[in-house]
Structure 1
Amino acid sequence: MLGWEFPPAITGGLATHCYHLTKALAKQNISVTFVMTNRRIQNKYDWLNLVQLDAATVLGNYDSFFNTGFFNEVYKINAGIIRKFENEHNFDAIHCQDWLTSIAGRELKKKLGIPLIMTIHATEDDRTGGHPWNQILELELQACREADAIITVSNYTKKKLESFGIPYYKITVIYNSVPIPSEEPFKQKTNKVLFAGRLTVQKGVEFFLKAAKLVLEKKHDVQFLIAGKGELLPKLIELTFDLGIEESVSFLGFVDQNEIKEVYKQCDIFVMPSVSEPFGIVALESMAQKTPIIISKTSGVAEVAKTAIRIDFWDTEKMAASILSALTYQELREEMAERGFKELRNYTWDDAGRDTKKIYEQAIGHG
């Protein structure tokens, strides 16, 4: 399995997905070697073989696609993977997690004569809000054309790939999941509203802040928390001052997986106003802590989170009204929390592991 990040080196949902999927595959007796750029991970994992290569120097997150050296690092890690594994003939399949390692995946498929499976977590069109880098888009699409099988995390992304000419019969949807807490979280009303995610155009944080302004005009004691980092941070901080809400908004920066659970618990509502969101695993993480969710209609998680309030990301008045309703009516908030918590049992990582194993078996059988 070729990736770019793995806990504790986390940028977004990709690392979380890889962590839980590899554990689920181990339960299916699938032996996984996970290959990534060297992020100085010291942890030992008993269910997989973690290989970190020094071919690239990227140690932090990769928010800055605007860094001119980024593509050099991508090509370096792909070249390093090819060099290390081009003569290794003890693997049955290659599984690439997104486009970043797809060059190596395509080349190793040819050299080793084994099938290539691509998981597409987000398209370049999604990540850039409809203004894709053609170089990245072409890498994605070429990988999908050459792959023996493609996994997407939602029908939303499946349809996006089909719109780019990828045959529907190559694509299987396998939803993300989250671990269900062994004990149900205890909730207290706090009048706190949370956004968690990368601070990029794709995530729609500016709409969250504009909705916050409308909420505060009617309810002054609400606190809005923003967990995450990204290139839009300076502009978002400036926007809070322009809107006159800087005293009611807290920027928490990056919050690790253990601490974010406590942040979810402390908040009454979680809002995911993404402009384009192929899935949105943070919404499920919030549900696991019994925090009701308000999500944009343009998100994959809307396919599984049936009890969520769905809004158009640009409709800040509806977003504000939904936040106010959830804050005001305790019964509504509690009903959403209870039903959301129960919904999580419909999609588990064990299910994802079994379904992914079937994809491997089909691809190997056709190879």
Structure 2
Amino acid sequence: MKVLMFGWEYPPHVYGGLATANFGISEGLHVQGDIETTLCLPHPFGDEDQRFANIVAMNCVPIAYRDVDYDYVKNRIGNIMNPDLYYELRNYIYADFNYMHVNDLGAMDFAGGYPANLHEEINNYSIIAGVVARTLDYDIIHAHDWLTYPAGLHAKQVSGKPLCIHVHATDFDRSRGQVNPTVYGIEKDGMDNADCIMCVSELTRQTVINQYHQDPRKVFTVHNAVYPLTQEIAEIPRPDHKGKEKLVTFLGRITMQKGPEYFIEAANMVLHRTRNVRFCMAGSGDMMNQMIYLAAERGIADRFHFPGFMRGKEVYECLKASDVYVMPSVSEPFGISPLEAMQCGTPSIISKQSGCAEILNNCIKIDYWDIHALADAIYSICHNESLFDYLSEEGKKEVAQITWEKVGAWIRELYLRTLGW
């Protein structure tokens, strides 16, 4: 089975959870043994892991004809995409796009990530998808999140092949209900025209059914998973904090959706009971300065650290150095980070309003708004060694069973159902 997949980010260039999930799904599908995935990305850098998917660089796909020789093309894009594919794609340009901002190869540049002109880049990506969809051989289309739904729809219109869309989040999650009508329109259009809708949690599935008015029969829950720790990460030592200061960590985007203010208010309550705890708010986002000021207003700035955005090994070093991991999200479609924390042996506290709460048992679950319960849970784990040890050991065992291979098997089954094979 051949899959044409549209993604937006991919390791090692991680801007959020979408990259992690996209890589995990690619790996999970590859393990099935009979699936070949071609993954389109707006701006790959050439250092992406291509063991599980053949990557097409959308910023190297010609949409306007240019008569360029092979050596020049190889020199320009050879480390990112096979030059032979460039010439094959050039044969399938379907309109005159010279009026657009194309470069010397007749291709369009992308910033990568989430630039200020994101909507323009989403539109350009969908145009380029038309050339790719006309050129490649595939059985089914899989589009990740609203950024790629227009591309997936264009590919479906071109090929007549069925479209699966993967809902990693909706604008209802990102905005606490203050929905951007443009984004909602893109999401709704994608869902209306999809043959199969995969949602990262039952929480998200219900949002899709109720807020986007989708037929429940085509909407499925596909929970995320977590990669096994690499040897390098597994060998990072856990500091022994027994009898020492405890460290409690929030790690994620510092935005409204993630509930960072509840973390600080709970920290303030804990620090009224003990001063033997430090708090770390790792990440970046539009509420970061607000949170720094809030910690100062509560008089706890001396017990707070704001190390900024972390990636790769830094994330795991931070998680292993922590005694408690907290994810107080207001609306979290899934949330992979608690699984990563539990892998590291770090007890986790998560909001009941998160998708991962549906599959995790060996963690503490609280309502995001209940700062008293959150403070009690933090204090208990920090001061009860037996509770810490239990959650640490049982959490590791539980997460070891939540694999991308199982996710890949379920997605494969959904592909087969959608294709009617």
Both proteins in one fold, TM over 0.5: yes
CA contact (8 A) 1:207 1:273 kept: yes
Instruction: Single out whichever of 249-258 and 193-202 deviates more from structure 2.
Output: 249-258
Alpha-carbon distance in structure 2 between the residues aligned to 1:41 and 1:102 = 24
The corresponding residue for 1:59 is: 112
The corresponding residue for 2:41 is: 36
Correspondences of 1:1-367 after superposition (within 5 Å): 1-28=5-32, 29-54=34-59, 55-60=108-113, 62=114, 67=116, 69-82=117-130, 84-164=131-211, 165-181=213-229, 186=238, 188-189=240-241, 190-365=245-420
Instruction: Single out whichever of 248-257 and 294-303 deviates more from structure 2.
Output: 248-257
The corresponding residue for 2:87 is: none
CA contact (8 A) 1:34 1:51 kept: yes
Summarize deviations over 1:260-296 as a string: whole Å, max 9, x none.
1111110000000000001110010001001001111
Alpha-carbon distance in structure 1 between the residues aligned to 2:304 and 2:44 = 32
CA contact (8 A) 1:86 1:111 kept: yes
**Structure number with bigger Rg:** 2
Instruction: Extract unaligned runs of 5+ from structure 2.
Output: 60-107
Alpha-carbon distance in structure 2 between the residues aligned to 1:78 and 1:98 = 13
Cα deviation, residue 138, structure 1: 1.6
Shift of the 70–23 alpha-carbon distance from structure 1 to 2, 3 Å rule, reads same
Alpha-carbon distance in structure 1 between the residues aligned to 2:298 and 2:374 = 17
CA contact (8 A) 1:175 1:347 kept: no
Alpha-carbon distance in structure 2 between the residues aligned to 1:337 and 1:46 = 32
CA contact (8 A) 2:10 2:48 kept: no
Instruction: Extract unaligned runs of 5+ from structure 1.
Output: none
Q: Please tell me the root mean square deviation across aligned C-alpha atoms, in Å.
A: 1.7
Alpha-carbon distance in structure 2 between the residues aligned to 1:22 and 1:307 = 28
| Number of matched pairs | 360
Q: Extract structure 1 runs of 4+ deviating beyond 3 A.
A: 180-187
Q: In percent, how many aligned pairs have the same letter?
A: 34
Q: Does the residue aligned with 1:255 lie in a helix, a strand or coil?
A: coil
CA contact (8 A) 1:8 1:41 kept: no
Alpha-carbon distance in structure 2 between the residues aligned to 1:213 and 1:245 = 7
Alpha-carbon distance in structure 2 between the residues aligned to 1:153 and 1:188 = 35
Q: Does the residue aligned with 1:87 lie in a helix, a strand or coil?
A: helix
Q: Does the residue aligned with 1:310 lie in a helix, a strand or coil?
A: strand
Summarize deviations over 1:151-193 as a string: whole Å, max 9, x none.
1111111111111211111112121111234769746225000
Q: Residue 50 of structure 1 aligns to which amino acid in structure 2?
A: I
State the TM-score, normalizing by the size of structure 1. 0.94
Alpha-carbon distance in structure 2 between the residues aligned to 1:142 and 1:43 = 31
Instruction: Single out whichever of 278-287 and 138-147 deviates more from structure 2.
Output: 138-147
